[in-house]
Amino acid sequence: MKHYLQRVMNRESLTEAEMLEVSRTFFTNSVTDSELAAFITALKLKGESVDEIVGLVKAVREQTLKFSHVAGCIDNCGTGGDGSHSFNISSTSAFVLAGAGIPVAKHGNRSVSSKTGSADVLEHLGIHLNVTPEQNEQQLKEIGITFLFAQHVQPKMGRIMKVRRELGIPTIFNLIGPLTNPIELETQVLGIYRRDFTELFAESLKRLGRKRAVVLNGAGGMDEASLQGDNELVILEDGNIRKINLHPEEVNLSVYSNEAIRGGDAKENADILLNVLKGEKGAYKDTVLLNAGIGIYAAGKADNIEGGIELARNSIESGAALSKLEQLVANSSLYEKAGI
């Protein structure tokens, strides 16, 4: 550790193999909390490279619960950390994606930077969080959507979470959460609160084996696509990476400020999610249409984002998206009754 720490402090980037080696020590007693804190702080000051991101992600994924391969899965988890206090956009959009026929392995956690994390709102809706990998896989195959609770599927991250809380500053661990989904994904939509990192993370997704992906930063610095103005999208497709800007008016959606999509506690955000899936018009629904539309496009179900938005609209208005939520809640109820 001391050797690698000194190199990073000298602003020297590590190779993927070196980062994998040092990251594995984070899960052992050979490294102190102080050394871990110093290393990730030095890494932040230097600036993280693709090799370092990929190496760390591979080390974290080695510590997760093991899952079988499920073909065609997508995740639409964002990094959080944008300070927008928005409702749970990606969680709501996940049911719309599932309603459009795309298997969703939704990775998420409790609140870190917002009032309500995805786990908080889904638990309030009656979705059981601590299920086994076999039950996650069963939900994926039979319902088309499952929730992978980060604290449950990555049980060895507790010490790192402790160090992160004590540091109190954003580090590489605030960014890599969406990359550590334990299911082998073919497609991903990743929202990130730093626009200067969109291309870096698209390259990281390519190195991690994604076939198609969209990394986006929304207007106002959101980690979701926003109706407020221009969104930056970096698209990975066929091994190529390209960047576009997308304004909501270009896809026939109205402009709303980010203040119009603020959320609240778990109950309030659960109500918003339900109202969107029931078709209530307004900024919340249009924001979900935009984000789900990008996801449907990323999954290859539509030739363009505008076509993805129309499929998202149909998923909501046909009742398919709401049905996916109801099926997942009913399935969770069976686990609760069985004492699982």
3-state secondary structure of 216: strand
CATH topology of domain 74-328: Pyrimidine Nucleoside Phosphorylase; Chain A, domain 2 (3.40.1030)
User: What is the arithmetic mean of pLDDT over 77-106?
Assistant: 94
CATH topology of domain 1-63: 1.20.970
Confidence of residue 144 (pLDDT cuts 50, 70, 90): very high
- Give the pLDDT score at 69: 83
Tokens representing residue 156 in the block? 């060895």
What does the pLDDT look like over 177-233, one tens digit per residue?
999 999 999 999 999 999 999 999 999 999 999 999 999 999 999 999 999 999 999
φ, ψ at 235 (rounded to 5°): -110, 125
What does the pLDDT look like over 13-52, one tens digit per residue?
999 999 999 999 999 999 999 999 999 999 999 999 999 9
Q: How far apart are CA 54 and CA 195, in angstroms?
A: 19
Picking from 147, 145, 148, the residue whose alpha carbon sits closest to that of residue 101 is 145
The annotation places the binding site for Mg(2+) at: 90, 223-224
The annotation places the binding site at: 78, 81-82, 86, 88-91, 106-114, 118, 164, 223-224
Of 75-84, 121-130, 251-260, 292-301, least confident by mean pLDDT is: 75-84
φ, ψ at 78 (rounded to 5°): -100, 170
Same fold, 1-63 and 74-328: no
- Give the pLDDT score at 81: 81
- Give the pLDDT score at 336: 61
Picking from 114, 144, 112, 146, the residue whose alpha carbon sits closest to that of residue 130 is 146
Q: In the chain, pLDDT over 90 holds for what percent of residues?
A: 85
The annotation places the binding site for 5-phospho-alpha-D-ribose 1-diphosphate at: 78, 81-82, 86, 88-91, 106-114, 118
Picking from 277, 284, 236, 282, the residue whose alpha carbon sits closest to that of residue 262 is 284
- Residue 335 in this model has a pLDDT that exceeds 70: no
The annotation places the binding site for anthranilate at: 78, 109, 164
- Domain locations in the chain? 1-63, 74-328
Q: How far apart are CA 271 and CA 330, in angstroms?
A: 18
Answer with the residue of higher pLDDT: 88 or 115: 88
Contact 33, 162 (CB under 8 A): yes
- Give the pLDDT score at 247: 98
Confidence of residue 172 (pLDDT cuts 50, 70, 90): very high
Picking from 293, 280, 289, 224, the residue whose alpha carbon sits closest to that of residue 84 is 224
What does the pLDDT look like over 244-268, one tens digit per residue?
999 999 999 999 999 999 999 999 9
CA triplet 152, 182, 56: central angle to 5 degrees? 100
Cα dihedral 18/107/103/221 (nearest 10):
-90
Cα–Cα distances in Å, from 191 out to 90, 196, 215? Answer: 9, 12, 6
Count of Cβ atoms closer than 10 Å to residue 242 Cβ: 11
User: What is the arithmetic mean of pLDDT over 290-313?
Assistant: 98
Tokens representing residue 252 in the block? 């026939």
How does 154-185 read in b/e, with b if 16+ C-beta sit within 10 Å?
beebeebeebbeebeeebbbbbbbbbbbbbbb
